[in-house]
């Protein structure tokens, strides 16, 4: 289909096509098209059916922590409305749904006793997905650490890695027969950076580089969980990291050094140990080997056990300059000259191609097949007088980024799937409900779901792609 202003009605939503004149390239049969969500951001029902408390329940009650004092108490009430949400996914025509399991729903204190009702919830969800021809892709940890584990040291404590492996084994024992690909952790960089270094996410600790042990303990948790998953017959396992091309603000050695430091911290620290079995040189961060003196003999072997894929989350590149003060070895700069999302992220689709090709050249044949496990944008989407949500900026964003994936594939990168963040507008962490990332608008007063124009656009895109055989 080419340019023009073809109007389509899909699943009750209207959109004007296209944003660009060229057809989207055709992706290989079997390429996974999907959407992603996370438990705390959509489920609500935080005290239902024996769920324990997570660090996010606690953090949301800290005055000033979350914009306008929002909490995940209700969120999208997906815990009760999941049949409607699965029906939306079926209408969308996706073949893969990435979601996360709430650890405190399954193991309320983070260790010991299992809450069968919590497991039953995910069991029903997985059954329903499979019945609708949608492959479940669960993430085991998307930030909602059980509060009792945080009270015992959280990811600063090595023991948390072992508790996480226990949890992984419990979940997979119940679900592995219907789950082809498991994700251990989501974006451990963000947990370390925002949760333990800067204190703007749960658990709200501001340890700066003193947060580094949380990097190692999460990675150890990944490795131990991977072994636990394999032990109970899980098929394929991966980890999802966030990545951001690190651009130097100028050619000056100081700015280039700042970009290298940020690249080490964001793009290498959580990937080199998994794919190469070693930590990157921490010297750009001003740290010697003692910066990670929590690493014990054998840990890196555990962490680097082969994964079947790499989950890649991409939103935007980062621009770095030499620091003004000594707290960190870099300073983030605004990127100008691009459209921006409501979050202030520059819209740079070529950054995704750059990222994927640089991962391929950095890791060579150690790089497993890649899934884009998150990509998306927030805008201030609201229904118009006719009840339609005309989010053409999102369509433009997704169109550009899907083409960027195709460009990387044409350059030889083995990408197996693309998942939009997110199915629904949802709780965006410290931003509360202010950032709307969904293909589906949620009215937080009534919880009514309204597919946006991008929903219809994505539906048609998927319908036009070759399907999986068999």
**What amino acid positions are annotated as catalytic residues?**
187, 374
Task: Give DSSP secondary structure letters for 304-366.
Answer: TSPPS-EEEEE---EEEE--SSSSSS-EEE---SS-B-TT--B--HHHHHHHHHHHHHHHGGG
Binding status of residue 38 toward ligand IFM by CB under 6 A = yes
Q: Closest separation between CB of residue 422 and ligand IFM, Å?
A: 7
Q: Kindly give the pairing relationship between strand 370-374 and strand 415-421.
A: parallel
Binding status of residue 43 toward ligand IFM by CB under 6 A = no
Binding status of residue 144 toward ligand IFM by CB under 6 A = no
Q: Closest separation between CB of residue 421 and ligand IFM, Å?
A: 5
CB 174 within 8 A of CB 123: yes
Select 74 or 232, whichever has its Cβ closest to ligand IFM.
74
Distance (Å, whole) CA 5 – CA 13:
15
Instruction: Name the residue with the smallest CB distance to ligand IFM.
Output: 38
Binding status of residue 95 toward ligand IFM by CB under 6 A = no
Select 36 or 176, whichever has its Cβ closest to ligand IFM.
36
Q: Which of helix, strand or coil describes residue 10? A: strand
Select 155 or 437, whichever has its Cβ closest to ligand IFM.
437
The mark string for 355-394 relative to ligand IFM (x by CB under 6 A, - otherwise) is: -------------------x--------------------
> What separation in angstroms does the CA of 162 have from each of 219, 242, 319?
11, 23, 37
Select 38 or 172, whichever has its Cβ closest to ligand IFM.
38
Select 102 or 300, whichever has its Cβ closest to ligand IFM.
102
Distance (Å, whole) CA 213 – CA 218:
9
Residues 182-211 that bind ligand IFM (CB under 6 A): 187
Phi, psi for 339 (deg, rounded to 5): -60, 155
Select 41 or 450, whichever has its Cβ closest to ligand IFM.
41
Distance (Å, whole) CA 305 – CA 219:
11
Q: Closest separation between CB of residue 185 and ligand IFM, Å?
A: 11
Binding status of residue 428 toward ligand IFM by CB under 6 A = yes
Q: Which of helix, strand or coil describes residue 295? A: coil
From 226, 117, 107, select the one nearest 176 (Cα to Cα): 226
Q: Closest separation between CB of residue 429 and ligand IFM, Å?
A: 6
Binding status of residue 313 toward ligand IFM by CB under 6 A = yes
Binding status of residue 421 toward ligand IFM by CB under 6 A = yes
Q: Kindly give the pairing relationship between strand 310-314 and strand 370-374.
A: parallel
Counting residues that bind ligand IFM (by CB under 6 A) gives: 8
Binding status of residue 272 toward ligand IFM by CB under 6 A = no
Contacts of 257 (CB under 8 A, 6+ apart): 284, 322, 329
First-to-last CA distance in the chain?
27
Q: Report the interface residues with ligand IFM, using CB under 6 A.
A: 38, 41, 187, 313, 374, 421, 428, 437
């Amino acid at each position: 289909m080419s340019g023009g202003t073809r109007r389509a009605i899909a699943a009750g939503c209207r959109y004007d096509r296209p944003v660009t004149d060229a057809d989207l390239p055709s992706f290989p049969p079997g390429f996974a098209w999907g959407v992603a969500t996370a438990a705390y951001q959509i489920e609500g029902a935080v005290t239902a059916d024996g769920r324990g408390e997570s660090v996010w329940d606690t953090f949301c009650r800290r005055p000033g922590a979350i914009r306008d004092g929002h909490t995940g108490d209700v969120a999208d009430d997906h815990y009760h409305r999941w049949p409607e949400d699965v029906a939306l996914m079926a209408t969308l025509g996706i073949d893969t749904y990435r979601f996360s399991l709430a650890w405190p729903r399954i193991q309320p204190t983070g260790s010991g006793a299992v809450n069968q009702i919590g497991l039953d919830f995910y069991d029903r969800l997985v059954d329903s997905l499979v019945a609708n021809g949608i492959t479940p892709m669960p993430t085991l940890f998307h930030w909602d650490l059980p509060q009792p584990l945080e009270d015992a040291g959280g990811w600063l404590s090595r023991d948390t890695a072992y508790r996480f492996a226990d949890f992984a084994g419990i979940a997979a024992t119940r679900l592995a027969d219907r789950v082809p690909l498991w994700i251990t952790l989501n974006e451990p960089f963000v947990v370390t950076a925002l949760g333990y270094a800067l204190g703007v996410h749960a658990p709200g600790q501001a340890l700066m580089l003193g947060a580094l042990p949380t990097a190692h303990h999460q990675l150890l948790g990944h490795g131990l969980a991977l072994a636990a998953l394999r032990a109970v017959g899980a098929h394929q396992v991966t980890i999802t990291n966030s990545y951001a091309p690190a651009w130097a603000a100028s050619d000056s050695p100081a700015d280039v050094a700042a970009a290298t430091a940020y690249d080490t911290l964001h793009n290498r620290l959580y990937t080199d140990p998994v794919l190469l079995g070693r930590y990157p040189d921490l010297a750009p961060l001003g740290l010697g080997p003692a910066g990670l003196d929590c690493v014990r003999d054998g840990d890196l072997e555990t962490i680097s056990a082969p994964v079947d894929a790499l989950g890649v989350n991409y939103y935007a590149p980062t621009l770095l300059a030499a620091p003004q003060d000594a707290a960190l070895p870099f300073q983030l700069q605004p990127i100008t000259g691009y459209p921006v999302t409501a979050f202030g992220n520059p819209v740079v689709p070529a950054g995704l191609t750059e990222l994927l090709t640089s991962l391929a050249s950095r890791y060579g044949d150690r790089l497993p097949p890649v899934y884009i496990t998150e990509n998306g944008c927030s805008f201030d989407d609201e229904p118009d007088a006719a009840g339609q949500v005309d989010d053409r900026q999102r369509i433009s964003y997704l169109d550009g980024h899907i083409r960027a994936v195709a460009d990387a594939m044409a350059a030889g990168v083995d990408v197996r799937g693309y998942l939009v963040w997110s199915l629904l507008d949802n709780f965006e962490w410290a931003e509360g409900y202010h950032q709307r990332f969904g293909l589906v608008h949620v009215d937080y007063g009534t919880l009514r779901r309204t597919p946006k124009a991008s929903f219809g656009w994505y539906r048609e895109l998927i319908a036009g792609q070759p399907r999986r055989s068999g």
